[in-house]
Amino acid sequence: MPEELDKGVLLELRTLPEGLAEIVARHLVAADRCMVSGDITTARAHIEAARRRAGRVSAIREAAAIAAYADGDFSVALAELRAVRRMSGGIMYAPMIADCERGLGRPQKALDYIRAINAPSMDTDTRIELLLVAAGARADLGQVDAAVVTLQVPELTRLPPGTTRARLQYAYSDLLARAGRSSEAWEWMERAAGSDLDGATDAAERCEELAGISFIEEVGDLPEVDPSND
């Protein structure tokens, strides 16, 4: 059962006494299974049980952060993510930290945090996630046009098909719709649906919704016909 855990997590757990490591591993495996099934409450209970026994293991704090984030408990998630950052460094969870600030109603703080990050070797997925959070924060501030511009990056079309490109195109389409640019929003949602090889978004369903809005707009723009000309 513990072998279901990531090798890096197992390596961390080896720093614990053997019996304790086994107990903690079982709680983490149970939490992971609960997360997959959507039972976040039980997942958090298992993670908390592991945390009480080995709170200095960064993998446990990561699990606590991810579960809290999924549960919308942004205050706890932020505290745990900051602890993970102190323990292990790196910027893997920077997008989630910034998004927690958004979730707590602090979009400007999210933007300030993103702006302060200096990581020239940042991997593409993390950079795109930060762009998505920044665009969302702009929209939270009522700056929808600026949010649209934030996502006008080469990766919109240059990334290979898959979840990252689909999520970027989906978010771009959503912002275009919020900016009143429904026809463009429909086009980009269609692209997102084509990019979404793993079904990570509901882009296909949104295409139908946006197509309806675009059709209504086009009909509304038709010129009136003078019956006397018939």
pLDDT tens digits for range 122-156: 899 999 999 999 999 999 999 999 999 999 999 99
With 70 as the cut, is the pLDDT of residue 169 above it?
A: yes
Question: Residue 94 has what pLDDT?
Answer: 94
Q: How far apart, in whole angstroms, are the C-alpha atoms of residue 219 and residue 24?
A: 62
- Number of C-beta neighbours around residue 98 at 10 A: 28
Query: Where does the pLDDT of residue 110 fall: very low under 50, low under 70, confident under 90, or very high at 90 and above?
Result: very high
Q: What is the mean pLDDT of residues 75-80?
A: 97
Q: Take residue 178 and report the two structure tokens written for it.
A: 């919020």
Write the pLDDT tens digit of every residue in 1-42.
666 787 888 888 988 998 999 999 999 999 999 999 999 999
CATH architecture, domain defined by 1-89 = Alpha Horseshoe (1.25)
Kindly compute the dihedral angle of the four CA atoms of residues 184, 188, 193, 197, in this order, to the nearest 10 degrees: 170
Q: Indicate the pTM of the whole model.
A: 0.85
Q: What pLDDT is recorded for position 219?
A: 46
* Model confidence at 218: pLDDT above 70: no
Return d(Cα 133, Cα 111) in angstroms, integer: 8
